[in-house]
Amino acid sequence: MHEYMTMKNIFQPSIAVVFAAILAALFFGVFSVVFVEMFGEKLSLLMALPVVMIIGLLFVFNRYLLFTLILLLRPALDPILEKTKIGGLGVGGVLNALVIIIALLAIIQKDFQLRSILIRTWVPFLLVLLIAVGFAPDFTHAVKSYLSLISNAAMFALALTLVKTQTDYGRWMRIVLLSSLIPVFYGFVDYATGGVVYADAGKRVASTFSHPNILAFYLVLIITLSFYFIKSKVTYIPPSVKRLLPLYIIMMIALLLFTKTRSAWVVCFVFFTLYGLLYERKYLLFVIVSPLVALLIPEMQDRIIDLTQGNEVVTYGTLNSYAWRKYIWESSLSWMQPSHYFLGYGLESFMHYSIDFFPLAGNMETGAHNVYVQLIFDTGVVGLLSFVWLYGSVAFYLAQFYKANKLMIFLAIMLLCQYGLLAYSDNMLSYLAFNWYFWFVLGATYSIAYHDKKRLQNEVSSA
């Protein structure tokens, strides 16, 4: 009877709710007329309006169902979200905002036991970035970037709040794994239909992502997670799925080669090498053979040989991608004034000033392709140290649970190391979709390790 009354109260609208619904209906009615008048000829923008309304209703009535759908579908949405942008804003921005709001609502719950870990890891970095927003040369761009980075912290926080048992962990990790199906299978369609052609690298595969590098980094994450499912004794992955996962990993490795993202190749190679050295030596044979097989593919050979030429800046010469990166790093750091070493020039200032300090800019803003250089330029030494603190502290807190689950913690720390290596040669902070899954997996890993240890301590004390 009490349960019935509770459910009845949940669905019985109050006067305030009815009044709010009437106001919302009036607002969306007027807004729809104006919106259709302005953008009626653009089908993608016209469709964005009902989508935003549906998203809003899902948020009001079941925000965790909305979050589940976002987590399940976000890797496949880049092409769609890009078409809904108006002046740099679109449905993607709405999703980012809602993820942050859902996380804030979860954080303020009284039973949130892991609030302190969020404060000790993320808050220093976010505070420094907030200061850097205040004196950024392009305030609008800086705010958008800052909100994107906050959404990464929100994903970490949501994982901490949602994962308390092995059942929780299994449910959410299955969703992360399922999120890869569309990008992986469409990746082969993308390859068969020509992919994306680059002047310096030829045909590359981006699948549903905006750039091949983002797909590559996402694949490395899913490969690492899938490998854990195979090697661990978890029961939340059905045996039939476990038997298919090795084939799925091989498919992802093939797709990883098609992205032609060399840094992702390196971190994947390092991962299997370290696993082989520390756990199963038989994997070292795979580590030795796989590069030799890859080098038999002409396109892979060309990608490696490209690094041996174009290493010097000469008139009318063409730099290879790594030499180009080193040139922009040197140009930016030598352009900096000593007075900006401490706090930098403001968030996203590297992009803004790249036209001034980079001789090859060609009146086009460009990213640093190195998180460490970008942070020194944007936020100074303080920002770089806060970034190192973020990743170092997360690794430290994860390492405390190593004895309880060696494989899971090893793989989580490997993800952090992979990110650190990738940050050396790419704009990792800008890759929102990848960062969301990266931080959600890390947050879930820490949370399940924390709660498992706490349950074990309670069992020992009560025995």
Tens of pLDDT, residues 323-342 = 899 999 999 999 999 999 99
Residues 426-430: contacts with CB within 8 Å, 24+ apart? 426/213, 426/217, 426/263, 426/369, 426/370, 426/371, 427/367, 427/368, 427/369, 427/371, 427/374, 428/217, 428/371, 429/145, 429/149, 429/371, 429/374, 430/145, 430/148, 430/367
**Better pLDDT: 322 or 313:** 322
Mean of the per-residue pLDDT values of the chain: 85
Examine the domain organization and report whether 424 and 321 are in the same domain: yes
Distances (CA, A) of 308 to 296, 320, 323, 325, 413: 18, 8, 10, 15, 32
Q: What whole-number percentage of the chain has pLDDT above 90?
A: 61
User: Please, are residues 424 and 217 in contact by the beta-carbon 8 Å criterion?
Assistant: no
Examine the domain organization and report whether 320 and 294 are in the same domain: no
Establish if 371 belongs to a structural domain.
Answer: yes
* Closest to 122 measured CA to CA, from 71, 164, 157: 157
Examine the domain organization and report whether 75 and 138 are in the same domain: no
Q: What is the pTM of this model?
A: 0.88
Of 1-10, 65-74, 321-330, the range with the lowest mean pLDDT is 1-10
CA angle 227, 231, 236 (to 5 degrees): 90
Q: How confident is the model at residue 354 (pLDDT cuts 50, 70, 90)?
A: very high
Establish if 8 belongs to a structural domain.
Answer: no
Encoding tokens for residue 40?
């009626």
The per-residue pLDDT for 168 is: 94
The per-residue pLDDT for 216 is: 96
Q: Is 314's pLDDT higher than 60?
A: no
The per-residue pLDDT for 338 is: 95
Buried/exposed 125-143: b ≥16 CB within 10 Å, e otherwise? bbebbebbbeebebeebbe
Examine the domain organization and report whether 321 and 438 are in the same domain: yes
**Residues 87-97, mean pLDDT to the nearest whole number:** 81
Digit-coded pLDDT (tens) for 134-191 = 999 999 999 999 999 999 999 999 999 999 999 999 999 999 999 999 999 999 999 9
The per-residue pLDDT for 1 is: 42
d(CA 167, CA 316): 60
Q: Is 262's pLDDT higher than 60?
A: yes
The per-residue pLDDT for 93 is: 86
Ramachandran assignment for 348, one of left (phi > 0), alpha (psi -120 to 50 degrees), beta (any other): left
Domain tally for the chain?
Answer: 3
Examine the domain organization and report whether 136 and 102 are in the same domain: no
Establish if 461 belongs to a structural domain.
Answer: no
Q: Which residues fall within 8 angstroms of residue 374, CB to CB, at 6 or more apart?
A: 350, 367, 368, 427, 429
**Residues 94-100, mean pLDDT to the nearest whole number:** 91
* Closest to 205 measured CA to CA, from 251, 250, 257, 267: 257
Examine the domain organization and report whether 360 and 420 are in the same domain: yes
Establish if 20 belongs to a structural domain.
Answer: no
Q: How confident is the model at residue 15 (pLDDT cuts 50, 70, 90)?
A: low
Establish if 236 belongs to a structural domain.
Answer: yes
Establish if 21 belongs to a structural domain.
Answer: no
Examine the domain organization and report whether 320 and 250 are in the same domain: no
Q: How confident is the model at residue 6 (pLDDT cuts 50, 70, 90)?
A: very low
The per-residue pLDDT for 2 is: 41
Output Rg (C-alpha) for the chain, integer angstroms.
24
Examine the domain organization and report whether 252 and 333 are in the same domain: no
Nearest-10 Cα torsion for 109, 115, 119, 125: -70
CA angle 376, 377, 381 (to 5 degrees): 30
Examine the domain organization and report whether 263 and 361 are in the same domain: no
Examine the domain organization and report whether 265 and 338 are in the same domain: no
Establish if 463 belongs to a structural domain.
Answer: no
Digit-coded pLDDT (tens) for 200-247 = 677 899 999 999 999 999 999 999 999 999 998 888 888 899 999 999
Q: Which domain holds residue 247?
A: 171-308
Out of 308, 331, 366, a domain closes at 308
Examine the domain organization and report whether 245 and 144 are in the same domain: no
Nearest-10 Cα torsion for 311, 315, 321, 322: 40
Establish if 19 belongs to a structural domain.
Answer: no
Examine the domain organization and report whether 234 and 286 are in the same domain: yes
User: Please, are residues 380 and 342 in contact by the beta-carbon 8 Å criterion?
Assistant: yes
Amino acid at 292: L
- Name the packing angle between helices 63-73 and 166-178 (round to 10°): 50
The per-residue pLDDT for 274 is: 94
Out of 276, 308, 340, a domain closes at 308
d(CA 270, CA 179): 25
Q: Is 409's pLDDT higher than 90?
A: yes
Out of 308, 334, 361, a domain closes at 308
The per-residue pLDDT for 426 is: 94
Q: How confident is the model at residue 88 (pLDDT cuts 50, 70, 90)?
A: low
* Closest to 322 measured CA to CA, from 263, 362, 256, 258: 263
